[in-house]
Structure 1
Amino acid sequence: MKLPRLHVPVAAWSILLAWLAMWVLMWPPAAAAADAQDDMSAASRALQKAQAAVVGVQSIAVDGARSAATLGRVREGSGVVISREGLVLTIGYLVLEAEQVQIVTDDARTIPARFIGYDVATGFGLLQALAPLRIDAVPLGRSGALNPREGLMIASGGEDGAVSAAWLVSRRAFSGYWEYHIPGALFTTPPRRDHSGAGLFNIAGELVGIGSLIVADAAGGDERLPGNMFVPIDLLSPIFDELLRVGSSTSSKRAWIGINCVEHDGAVRIVRINDDSPADVAGLQAGDKIVRIDGADVHALEELWTRLWSGGEPEREVVLDIQRNGEAQTVRVFSVDRMKTLKRARGI
């Protein structure tokens, strides 16, 4: 299957320049007008360079890919050029089990790419362009240095690639329903629907996060504020060499049982069972409330996932105490190594 060539329209820089001007006005009154103008010009150049490093990413998953049931076989999103050698950082679910990947540049070039790795633990995906991109790599910032309510830029690539201003409203641990947990996730508002693999940049044009989700509770707590969740760039440095060398981090070698869960009022319930997964084989069902895992009480997704991963070898017996229709049951699930469940294109 041949993927179509896409074209990225010119970004609306007037919006971002107005945003930058607002930031200049917020600086100390003692700052000289000329210095403020110079700072705004420098920030504008840095952000334009950052936006230029964002590319479109398209992929087709292999036949029989387990992930196709939820993600589809054909996927589109964004990625960010992070090295002179043409390495592109993206969100892993875009290239999970991919047999064909290509990068689409701002000048409508379509460039084939090689899948380098997918890190289950962080969610990052890494690609290598197979022809010169002729795009400057973006510098990496420090997501941990961001301040609450800090102004940021979101940039996406592809046919509908665009840039917009955003605010950091929360930085906290995030537990996903799909056996996923990371520390220090970045939550921004207003929301962007083209978030998959989009770059999140500080005012210096440094990459601080990679787009993952749209959420209803960006602020956390009881406040309902729609926004996006970004995987923080600080999680990349500790695993980068390993990801480049072997395609995943040591932390990605972890137990997987194949359940989707939600947390509500101190209780964790299963909402979906993956077909032919260990949970499916063990007879777990949607609606089951997980009370304990290997003898440890479960009240939150973080407790469930971290106990699952830290309880022993990736492939072992996991004991779940559940409640089904008000009745207590004990279910023994034989977990598998998540990385072994993923299909790869021939030759990868």
Structure 2
Amino acid sequence: MIRTMSKPVFTVVLLTTLFVLSSCGKKQQAPPPPVTASGAVSTPSTVVALPNFTVLVKKEGPAVVNISTTQKIRREHLPFPAFPGTKQDDPFYEFFRRFAPGEMPPHEFRSQSLGSGFIISQDGYILTNAHVIDNADEVTVRLTDKREFKAKVVGADKRSDIALLKISAKDLPVASIGDTSKLEVGEWVVAIGSPFGFTNSVSQGIVSAMGRSLPGENTTPFIQTDVPINPGNSGGPLFNLKGEVIGINSQIYSRSGGYMGLSFAIPIDLAIKVKNQLLKHGTVKRGLLGVTIQDVSPEHARSFGLTKASGALITTVRKDTPAARSNLEIGDIILKFNGKELTDADDLARTVADAAPGSIARLNVWRRGTAKEVAVTLGDTETDLKTPQSRPIDKEIVPDKIGLTMHELNPGERQMLRTDGYVVVDAVDGIAAESGIQPKDIIIAINSQRISSIKQFRNVMAEVGIRAAVLVQREGNMIFIPLISK
């Protein structure tokens, strides 16, 4: 599974391998002696020794397992002729009819892949990535002592990419579980896994960053490392120097599909929470608020009268959701969740997802220059979200003082564009262009006030002045754009 990124092209690669071999034959030269900040060559007495991982590997390595999966794929029959476009009067038709195989019956073949995992209980529970065992008909776990077991999938959660397996065995070696909250940037970490099928391979590096977000993964605060990780490492443990698992290796960020110094692991505290729910329910229940949000930029903060650019700015409130029932509004900025300050939109998404459905969340909200507290009873992510209804409106073409040329959408246009908005931008100039508004943007709101006509747009702009943020719908996404006055 590969996710393609914007130029320059990078991909987020899920690290399951399909038996690919590679080698490196370039001879390495000895590194030059270390140099101090002043430019002088360090003497051996000033060199700090690197950590020794042998004790860690001997103690924790036996708890790391190799996971192989088999998927049965059915191929339907291929009717004769197998050469499309061959007519009966073609000289080769009789040859193909007599000597080419006729209609081939349906048949099955098997696809195999490899990954890693680690044992978390003596009676055979194993953690790995959900994508390692996705669509597998058969899962086999191999221990370091070369024993093999058929594994049962207790549960898998694609959103967090965590899966829980069970094998029938006793007195197994168990990996020590650490605390991700105590992990710091710059710490040494060690990965053990099966890159390209080479079982129990060890690699090391440091923690590069904490709490990283990846495209489509805003509920997982990834641990970023520079540990060499390759296909087949997926699901394997990431250890700290105490020999404790603090993450599950999951993805790499790469141009080539191979390791390029950017590796990402799922925090073990998140994985354990998911494991507990899989063990109890067979699935994972997450809190639901029912809003679409974006980060608060410094420009947004100025537009909304905030002193600090933090929190999550609401761009959409879905009908029949907890947010709608609690009267949250477009343009509200959620600053705190149950007393916890929110740094950005991803922080809110993770916090809500981590909360139990049915629990009451107390939100500190900034609305039209005033701080408010809103109590919300969270829903479940399984809740159906209904599409809001709309009303018809007449068409009109009008230029605007801030540089917008707009017209009002008729019912047919609104249905075709699948929008709740009533006003679309035809051309931009001046302040609007400098601020980033584009032709075809659909105007939804100014600050927190919804716009249903060009007349209303003018009236609201006259009221708030240039200190405003315009909510637009662009290619299906809701974006607040702060107006910039130079």
Give the TM-score taking structure 2 as reference length: 0.43
Does the alignment pair 1:138 with 2:175?
yes
The answer to whether the 8 Å contact 1:120/1:248 transfers is no
- Structure 1 counterpart of 2:121, from 66, 73, 83: 83
* Whole-angstrom distance in 2 between the partners of 1:101 and 1:252: 31
Cα deviation for residue 147 of structure 1 reads: 1.9
Does the alignment pair 1:148 with 2:261?
no
- Structure 2 counterpart of 1:228, from 231, 244, 263: 263
What does residue range 1-348 of structure 1 map to in structure 2 within 5 Å?
26=48, 44-61=54-71, 74-130=112-168, 132=169, 135-157=172-194, 159-161=197-199, 162-177=201-216, 180-183=218-221, 185-194=222-231, 195-215=233-253, 226-251=261-286, 292-294=315-317, 296=330, 302=346, 314-317=383-386, 326-328=439-441
Structure 1 residue ranges (4+ consecutive) displaced by more than 6 angstroms after TM superposition = 252-255, 303-312, 319-325
2:185 counterpart letter in structure 1: P
Residue deviations 1:30-79 (CA, integer Å, cap 9, x gap): xxxxxxxxx96xx6323322122111112235769xxxxxxx96432100
Q: Secondary structure at the match of 1:176?
A: coil
Corresponding residue for 2:41? none
The answer to whether the 8 Å contact 2:207/2:224 transfers is yes
Cα deviation for residue 226 of structure 1 reads: 2.8
Q: Secondary structure at the match of 2:176?
A: coil
* Whole-angstrom distance in 2 between the partners of 1:311 and 1:241: 20
* Whole-angstrom distance in 1 between the partners of 2:142 and 2:252: 23
Cα deviation for residue 209 of structure 1 reads: 0.7
Mark the CA change 1:61 to 1:180 in structure 2 (over 3 Å): closer, same or farther: farther
Q: Secondary structure at the match of 1:93?
A: helix
1:176 counterpart letter in structure 2: P
Q: Secondary structure at the match of 1:200?
A: strand
Structure 1 residues not aligned, in runs of 5+: 1-5, 7-24, 28-38, 65-71, 218-224, 256-262, 267-290, 334-348
1:126 counterpart letter in structure 2: L
Cα deviation for residue 84 of structure 1 reads: 0.2
* Whole-angstrom distance in 2 between the partners of 1:312 and 1:106: 41
* Whole-angstrom distance in 2 between the partners of 1:207 and 1:26: 26
Cα deviation for residue 96 of structure 1 reads: 2.7
Of 132-141 and 191-200, more deviation after overlay is shown by 132-141
* Whole-angstrom distance in 1 between the partners of 2:387 and 2:351: 10
Cα deviation for residue 85 of structure 1 reads: 0.7
The answer to whether the 8 Å contact 2:116/2:236 transfers is yes
Mark the CA change 1:180 to 1:108 in structure 2 (over 3 Å): closer, same or farther: farther
Give the TM-score taking structure 1 as reference length: 0.57
* Whole-angstrom distance in 2 between the partners of 1:250 and 1:109: 35
Cα deviation for residue 107 of structure 1 reads: 3.5
* Whole-angstrom distance in 1 between the partners of 2:288 and 2:163: 16
Q: Secondary structure at the match of 1:144?
A: helix
The answer to whether the 8 Å contact 1:114/1:128 transfers is yes
| Structure with bigger gyration radius | 2
* Whole-angstrom distance in 2 between the partners of 1:118 and 1:198: 16
Mark the CA change 1:84 to 1:301 in structure 2 (over 3 Å): closer, same or farther: same
Mark the CA change 1:88 to 1:301 in structure 2 (over 3 Å): closer, same or farther: same
> What count of residue pairs does the alignment treat as equivalent?
247
The answer to whether the 8 Å contact 2:186/2:207 transfers is yes
Structure 2 residues not aligned, in runs of 5+: 1-18, 20-46, 75-109, 299-313, 318-328, 334-343, 354-377, 389-418, 426-437, 443-472, 477-486
* Whole-angstrom distance in 1 between the partners of 2:247 and 2:385: 34
Mark the CA change 1:254 to 1:212 in structure 2 (over 3 Å): closer, same or farther: farther
1:327 counterpart letter in structure 2: K
Q: Secondary structure at the match of 2:181?
A: helix
Where relative contact order (Cα < 8 A, 6+ residues apart) is larger, the structure is: 1
Cα deviation for residue 133 of structure 1 reads: 6.8
Mark the CA change 1:308 to 1:53 in structure 2 (over 3 Å): closer, same or farther: closer
* Whole-angstrom distance in 1 between the partners of 2:316 and 2:113: 35
RMSD: 4.4
The answer to whether the 8 Å contact 1:50/1:138 transfers is yes
Cα deviation for residue 248 of structure 1 reads: 2.3
Cα deviation for residue 157 of structure 1 reads: 3.1
